[in-house]
């Protein structure tokens, strides 16, 4: 479901972007006109799926291929998907699949398999630190990049939630189980 919502946000974003430029102040308190990217609908999608955005961010610096078109339909409905958008949609699917598996694993735990493997917990902990690094970078941007600062705050919330989950499970996997009775 999240992939469908993310796809809808990516398709709708150019329509919201075409609403036109509006006055914005930059760091030197100069008034200028520009359109804010990402628009609110895409910004909300990035906030909800911030770990997926963090996962594809390193791939954006590998040349100009992430901006190439995969789908470009100009008709009554304008649809434009780049390689970057497709990677984001795939990362959203993987993110929510992992979250669903974590929830299912918590409900499936039995006495014979009480612990989660420590390697996956350490990888998750390191990933949450990477999400936190990108969120911290976004929150320290200038006033001219206010939409990314708003996305960064949501990223910090994601970081805290992921960090708490992986640290608590890593600690509980290292503590010996108590014998009842």
Handedness of CA 135, 44, 80, 20 (dihedral sign): negative
> Is the per-residue pLDDT at 142 higher than 80?
no
Split at pLDDT 50, 70, 90, the class of 172 is confident
Check residue 16 and give its pLDDT: 76
Q: Where in the chain are the domains?
A: 2-174
Between residues 111 and 31, the one the model is more confident about: 31
- The per-residue pLDDT for range 94-133, each reduced to its tens digit, is 999 999 988 887 766 654 455 667 788 889 999 999 999 9
| 35 φ, ψ (degrees, to nearest 5) | -90, 140
**What pTM does this model have?**
0.79
In whole angstroms, what is the distance from residue 51 CA to residue 167 CA? 17
pLDDT tens for each residue of 11-22: 888 777 555 555
Beta strands in the chain (DSSP E): 22-25, 31-34, 69-73, 79-82
What is the predicted pLDDT for the residue at 111? Answer: 45
- Summarize pLDDT for 41-50 with one digit per residue, the tens: 888 999 999 9
């Amino acid at each position: 479901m999240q992939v469908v919502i993310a796809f809808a946000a990516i398709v709708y974003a150019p329509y919201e972007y075409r609403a036109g430029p509006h006055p914005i102040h930059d760091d030197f308190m100069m008034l200028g006109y520009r359109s804010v990217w990402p628009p609110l609908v895409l910004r909300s999608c990035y906030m909800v799926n911030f770990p997926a955005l963090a996962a594809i961010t390193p791939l954006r610096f590998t040349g100009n291929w992430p901006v190439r078109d995969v789908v470009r339909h100009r008709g009554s409905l304008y649809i434009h998907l780049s390689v970057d958008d497709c990677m984001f949609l795939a990362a959203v699917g993987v993110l929510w699949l992992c979250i669903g598996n974590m929830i299912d694993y918590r409900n499936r735990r039995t006495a014979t398999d009480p612990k989660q493997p420590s390697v996956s917990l350490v990888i998750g902990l390191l990933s949450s630190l990477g999400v936190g690094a990108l969120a911290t970078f976004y929150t320290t941007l200038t006033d001219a990049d206010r939409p990314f600062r708003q996305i960064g705050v949501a990223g910090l919330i994601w970081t805290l939630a992921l960090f708490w989950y992986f640290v608590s499970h890593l600690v509980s996997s290292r503590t010996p189980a108590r014998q009842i009775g």
